[in-house]
């Protein structure tokens, strides 16, 4: 496998370390709230961190995240809407 990084991600605190480690093994550049001292931040803050770092945000709480972060109203590095 190539050592080239496929994607840069910011994985929120609700996603487990097994998933984070699997992404890293596959070549993803992953940052977590624990690494960035952002544990407990609001959904909006997590989105702003991902935007600032030019990373795709991965979260498990899609319904509340979309409501609280106003992600649909902003440009960011990843869009997935399953209405």
* Residue 65 domain boundaries: 8-73
Going by their DSSP bridges, the two strands 8-11 and 29-31 should be labelled as parallel
Burial annotation 15-51 (CB, 10 A radius, 16+ → b, else e): beeeebeebeeeebebbbbeeeebeebebeebbbbbb
pLDDT for the residue numbered 72: 54
Instruction: For tokens 């979260």, name the residue.
Output: 59
Structure confidence by residue, pLDDT tens digits, 15-51:
899 999 999 998 899 999 999 999 998 888 888 898 8
The reply to whether 83 falls in a domain is: no
The reply to whether 48 falls in a domain is: yes
Structure confidence by residue, pLDDT tens digits, 50-80:
888 989 888 887 666 666 555 555 665 555 4
The reply to whether 65 falls in a domain is: yes
The reply to whether 79 falls in a domain is: no
> How many domains does one find in the chain?
1
The reply to whether 45 falls in a domain is: yes
Strands, DSSP E only, in the chain? Answer: 8-11, 29-31, 56-58
The reply to whether 30 falls in a domain is: yes
pTM metric for this prediction = 0.72
What angle is formed at CA 34 by the lines to CA 32 and CA 37, rounded to 5 degrees?
110
The reply to whether 3 falls in a domain is: no
The reply to whether 16 falls in a domain is: yes
């Amino acid at each position: 496998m190539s050592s080239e990084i496929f994607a840069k991600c910011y994985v929120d605190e609700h996603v487990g370390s097994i998933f984070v480690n699997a992404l890293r093994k596959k070549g993803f550049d992953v940052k977590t709230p624990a690494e960035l001292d952002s544990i407990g931040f609001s959904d909006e803050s997590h989105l702003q961190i991902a935007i600032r770092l030019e990373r795709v945000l991965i979260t498990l709480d899609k319904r509340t995240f979309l409501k609280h972060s106003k992600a649909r109203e902003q440009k960011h590095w990843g869009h997935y809407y399953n209405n």
